[in-house]
Amino acid sequence: MPDLAFADGVRRQTDYWLTVYKRTWRSSVFSSFVAPLFYVVAMGVLLGGFVESDTGELEGATSYLAFVVPGLVAAHAMQTAVGETTYPVMGLIKWQRVYDSMLATPLQVQHLAGATLSFVFFRVATTCAVYMLVLAPFGVFESWWGPFVAYAGQLLVGMAFGVWVYGFSARLEDEQAYGLLFRIGVIPMFLFSGAFFPVANLGEVGSWLARLTPLWHGVSLSRMFCLDDIDWSTAAVNVVVLVTLVVVGWFWAIAGLRKRLVS
């Protein structure tokens, strides 16, 4: 039995991550739960009040609020995952060297990544769940079951970013490249991947570029199922793209972490 079972290795870190969460949940309350509400009110209700558009132009939404919120939740899943896999991961690897201490025990690289990404999943799942619950009374969901599928799509896009940014962190010497990641990756995607306006508005080339971003696939799933305006072939493409990103990203992340820590 050379390797420790994956689930066992991950489970052994539960106490560590519980302690981390107990220590950090207060500071994450604003970014996870209050800030999203501000976005909904500011962008959806107040700014959206000036937007007069018909349902056809808004990808099937009856109001700008109904259009923008599914996109906002998907974008929030991305931001939560990126937030949890940048500086905190650099801390585990380099600053506090928690990973080094873990690797002196029976735990192996895949267990460390598994537990950390499980925690990222937990953070994405809780923040998106709260977000969706807060949205329910705004009357933006068109079916009772669609939001559950939309929620799954949000988790999927969150984890697609989670594994790739985690793998990126594993390969970074220091935190300076994070500035670049946010400036040329996260923020442009947040603004132009269809969360705030239909990507068709970007023109032929622009809209295709937007559709190449992982976030668009998440926004697309989230919106179609919230609004109960589903194009099943698009949904299938969205799911395949995101699942592939998660799976490939996972192996890429493990390989990077192993190279970094086991020398």
Partner 1 sequence: MSAGRTRVLVVPDFSVDPDSMILARGLRKSFGPPGAEFEAVKGIDVDVRRGEAFGFLGPNGAGKSSTMRMIAAVSPVSGGDLRILGMDPATDGPAIRGRLGVCPQEDTLDIELNVRDNLYIYGRYFGIPKAEVSDRVDELLEFVQLTEKAKAKVEDLSGGMKRRLTIARSLVNRPDLLLLDEPTTGLDPQARHVLWDRLFRLKQAGVTLVITTHYMDEAEQLCDRLVVMDKGVIVAEGSPLQLIREHSTREVAELRFGVAEEGATHETLAEKVADLGVRVEVLPDRLLVYSEDGEEVVAKVHERALTPVATLVRRSSLEDVFLRLTGRTLVD
Residues near partner 1 (CB under 8 A) are 1-4, 8, 12-16, 19, 23, 96-98, 100-108, 262-263
Our CB check for partner 1 shows the closer of 96 and 201 to be 96
CA angle 106, 111, 116 (to 5 degrees): 130
Our CB check for partner 1 shows the closer of 53 and 118 to be 118
The nearest distance, CB 91 to partner 1, in angstroms, is 9
Are the beta carbons of 157 and 71 closer than 8 angstroms?
no
Output the CA torsion 217→221→227→229 (10° steps). 90
Our CB check for partner 1 shows the closer of 110 and 193 to be 110
The nearest distance, CB 88 to partner 1, in angstroms, is 11
**For residue 4, what is the DSSP state?**
P
Which positions ≥6 away from 74 have C-beta within 8 Å? 153, 154, 157, 195, 215, 218, 219, 221, 222, 223
**Cα–Cα distance, 165 to 123 (Å, whole number):** 15
Our CB check for partner 1 shows the closer of 180 and 262 to be 262
The nearest distance, CB 262 to partner 1, in angstroms, is 7
Our CB check for partner 1 shows the closer of 111 and 223 to be 111
Our CB check for partner 1 shows the closer of 19 and 244 to be 19
**Cα–Cα distance, 7 to 197 (Å, whole number):** 42
Q: What amino acid occupies position 80?
A: T
The nearest distance, CB 174 to partner 1, in angstroms, is 18
The nearest distance, CB 233 to partner 1, in angstroms, is 45
The nearest distance, CB 60 to partner 1, in angstroms, is 47
Are the beta carbons of 4 and 107 closer than 8 angstroms?
yes
Which positions ≥6 away from 201 have C-beta within 8 Å? 207
